């Protein structure tokens, strides 16, 4: 095939036709043609040559050129495409590094193999341009709902025609045992759009919690307008879901607006989700109140919130236990997802038994350590004293406020508590030294003798050992494995050490050892202050 005047205009017409069919820029098709012709020309003139082709956008005339670049003497690697400054003086009056010498060469006749190769290059470039166009079109639609038609099924995954491209609905993103036939209309949530080796992939979902949130936004105008906001969503796809909503207009009931007249709005969402039961819950800023709402329809007697552990205990009447937990734990699991908290449910009887056990344990502690009778120990526990340190160092007035306690009794109790603690501290320090704890750790501020003993039992005996610890190793923490929250016991957790306290002690040790520049620790402290000032402003 020769590039002659007879087929020059065909190049432009072909480029226009391909561009219209693939919905891409015609200039990209012409660039692909230029690259393919240049590659074919190199097979004729030599692969070492820098052959370039330029197609006139108006006439379709293809110009073949040989380009040689001026480089430094020692940088010449290819004599067919590079020249030294000295050699370039034969062509240019004042050659500079980087200048190009362009010579037009005769057009080439494309043989059968060369023409086939050129065609492959053009097709490849067009495919790349088509993929880029598809990615650019769908990347900004991530997080929205799209309508499509089922195109085919591959190994349980559904390929959906979404207009100018295809989306994939994976097997685990389908609701329950949904089955589709080719041509069925389907509504999906665009979960992700990313580039893959085979081009951009649009990943669809019908199980994502946000799919339900977007459906409500379509059905409830107040949500679309921002009067009502969806604060949290939790789903057990195809079975049950909980959605928390809040209204920013006191005259509008968020739950009623989402339910609609005779349930019309929520029923439209339920139908789309294959009959999934939906609990619409009023969101509340107070965690305990929100949790009580989230556990509906079960009634809650009491909520105990451990903020540091992110754990919450819920007490329900005995007859409400199965309702609160739900079938196979579904109700409490969805409530946990909705609130982001680990929820423990117990009956009133179980909670009462636990409180009695704690009361008996603390009573025995005071009887053994303070050498008092059961009644006096019970009085201390009933007033809220939980350990010996509180008795030893509390203000005397708090002890005097207990019925039957006079100044002599209060002073004697505090003296006994302090004596016991001092003896225990001395014993703990002796044990710590016997286990090899070094003075560098003993003299470190913030650690009691009992803490040193506990650290020694865990193999932490020097300041260097202490400085290598993580805050959760000392104070304990929570990790999530396979969707289940797991408790990590801390070495010093029994001493009521918080994560912040542990982090402060560890960073102080690192500064003392010269591992951390103390100025680096000052910056984070200033940032919250700035935030506070902005908030006040």
Dist. CA 321–CA 309, nearest whole Å: 24
Predicted confidence at residue 138, as pLDDT, reads 78
Dist. CA 233–CA 256, nearest whole Å: 17
Buried b (16+ CB within 10 A) or exposed e, 458-472: eebbebebbbebebb
- Residues 6 or more apart whose Cβ sits within 8 Å of residue 449: 424, 425, 426, 428, 429, 432
Contacts 24+ apart (CB under 8 A), 414-420: 416/369, 416/370, 416/371, 417/369, 417/370, 417/388, 417/389, 417/391, 417/392, 418/392, 420/369, 420/370, 420/388
CA distances from 392 to 39, 388, 419, 451, 456 (A): 90, 6, 9, 19, 26
Q: Retrieve residue 417's tokens.
A: 């508590």
Dist. CA 508–CA 440, nearest whole Å: 13
Dist. CA 184–CA 179, nearest whole Å: 10
Secondary structure percentages of the chain, helix, strand, coil, to 5:
50, 20, 30
**Of 161, 135, 165, 140, whose CA–CA distance to 149 is shortest?**
161
Residue with tokens 């207990």: 402
Predicted confidence at residue 435, as pLDDT, reads 93
Give the strand pairing for 240-247 and 277-282: parallel
Predicted confidence at residue 14, as pLDDT, reads 67
In sign, the C-alpha dihedral spanning 398, 399, 402, 405 is negative
CA distances from 85 to 65, 78, 96, 97, 250 (A): 21, 14, 7, 7, 81
Whether the Cβ atoms of residue 258 and residue 224 lie closer than 8 Å to each other: no
Angle ∠(449,452,457) on CA atoms, nearest 5: 130
Please state, as a whole number, how many other Cβ atoms lie within 10 Å of the Cβ of residue 495. 16
- Residues 6 or more apart whose Cβ sits within 8 Å of residue 250: none
Predicted confidence at residue 484, as pLDDT, reads 61
The predicted model scores a pTM of: 0.57
* Residue 2: Cβ-neighbour burial (10 angstroms; 0-12, 13-18, 19+): exposed
What is the phi/psi pair of residue 16, to 5°?
-65, -40
Predicted confidence at residue 6, as pLDDT, reads 41
> Could you please report the per-residue DSSP string of 382-417?
HTT--SHHHHHHS-HHHHHTSTT--HHHHHHHHHHH
Whether the Cβ atoms of residue 159 and residue 152 lie closer than 8 Å to each other: yes
- Say how far residue 485 (Cα) sits from the centre of its chain: 17
**Of 103, 104, 116, 106, whose CA–CA distance to 40 is shortest?**
116
Dist. CA 514–CA 295, nearest whole Å: 51
Dist. CA 461–CA 471, nearest whole Å: 17
Predicted confidence at residue 438, as pLDDT, reads 92
> Across-strand partners of 481?
484
Which ranges of the chain have pLDDT less than 50?
1-6, 523-537
Predicted confidence at residue 527, as pLDDT, reads 45
Dist. CA 152–CA 100, nearest whole Å: 53
């Amino acid at each position: 095939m020769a590039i002659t005047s007879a087929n020059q205009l065909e190049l432009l017409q072909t480029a226009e036709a391909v561009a219209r069919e693939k919905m891409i820029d015609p200039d990209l098709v012409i660039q692909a043609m230029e690259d393919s012709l240049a590659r074919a020309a190199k097979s004729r003139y030599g692969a070492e040559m820098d052959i370039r082709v330029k197609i006139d956008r108006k006439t379709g005339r293809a110009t073949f050129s040989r380009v040689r670049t001026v480089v430094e003497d020692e940088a010449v690697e290819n004599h067919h495409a590079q020249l030294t400054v000295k050699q370039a003086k034969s062509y240019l009056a004042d050659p500079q590094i980087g200048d190009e010498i362009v010579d037009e060469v005769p057009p080439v006749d494309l043989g059968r193999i060369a023409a086939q190769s050129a065609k492959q290059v053009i097709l490849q470039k067009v495919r790349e341009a088509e993929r880029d166009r598809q990615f650019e079109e769908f990347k900004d639609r991530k997080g929205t709902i799209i309508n499509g038609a089922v195109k085919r099924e591959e190994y349980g995954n559904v390929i959906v025609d979404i207009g100018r491209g295809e989306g994939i609905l994976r097997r685990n993103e389908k609701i329950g045992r949904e089955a589709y036939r080719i041509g069925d209309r389907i509504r999906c949530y665009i979960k992700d759009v990313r580039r893959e080796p085979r081009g951009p992939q649009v990943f669809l979902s019908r199980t994502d919690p946000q799919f339900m949130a977007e459906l409500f936004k379509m059905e409830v105008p107040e949500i679309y307008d921002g009067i009502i906001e969806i604060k949290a969503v939790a789903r057990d796809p195809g079975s049950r879901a909980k959605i928390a909503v809040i209204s920013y207009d006191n005259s509008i009931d968020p739950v009623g607006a989402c339910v609609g007249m005779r349930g019309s709005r929520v029923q439209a969402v339920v139908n789309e989700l294959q009959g999934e039961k939906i609990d619409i819950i009023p969101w509340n800023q107070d965690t305990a109140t929100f949790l009580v709402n989230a556990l509906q329809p079960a009634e809650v007697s009491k909520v105990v919130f451990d903020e540091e552990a992110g754990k919450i205990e819920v007490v329900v009447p005995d007859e409400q236990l199965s309702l609160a937990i739900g079938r196979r734990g579904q109700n409490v699991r969805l409530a946990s997802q909705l609130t982001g908290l680990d929820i423990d449910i117990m009956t009133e009887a179980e909670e009462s038994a636990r409180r009695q056990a704690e009361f008996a344990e603390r009573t025995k502690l005071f009887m053994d350590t303070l050498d008092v009778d059961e009644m006096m120990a019970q009085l201390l526990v009933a007033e809220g004293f939980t350990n010996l340190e509180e008795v030893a160092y509390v203000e005397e007035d708090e002890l005097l406020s207990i019925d039957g306690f006079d100044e002599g009794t209060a002073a004697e109790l505090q003296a006994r508590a302090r004596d016991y603690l001092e003896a225990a501290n001395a014993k703990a320090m002796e044990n710590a030294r016997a286990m090899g704890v070094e003075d560098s750790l003993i003299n470190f501020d913030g650690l009691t003798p009992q803490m040193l003993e506990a650290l020694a039992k865990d193999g932490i005996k020097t300041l260097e050992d202490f400085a290598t610890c993580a805050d959760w190793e000392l104070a304990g923490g929570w990790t999530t494995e396979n969707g289940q929250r797991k408790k990590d016991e801390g070495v010093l957790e029994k001493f009521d050490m918080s994560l912040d306290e542990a982090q402060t002690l560890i960073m102080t040790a690192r500064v003392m050892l010269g591992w951390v520049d103390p100025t680096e620790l000052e910056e984070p402290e200033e940032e919250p202050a700035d935030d506070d000032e902005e908030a006040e402003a």
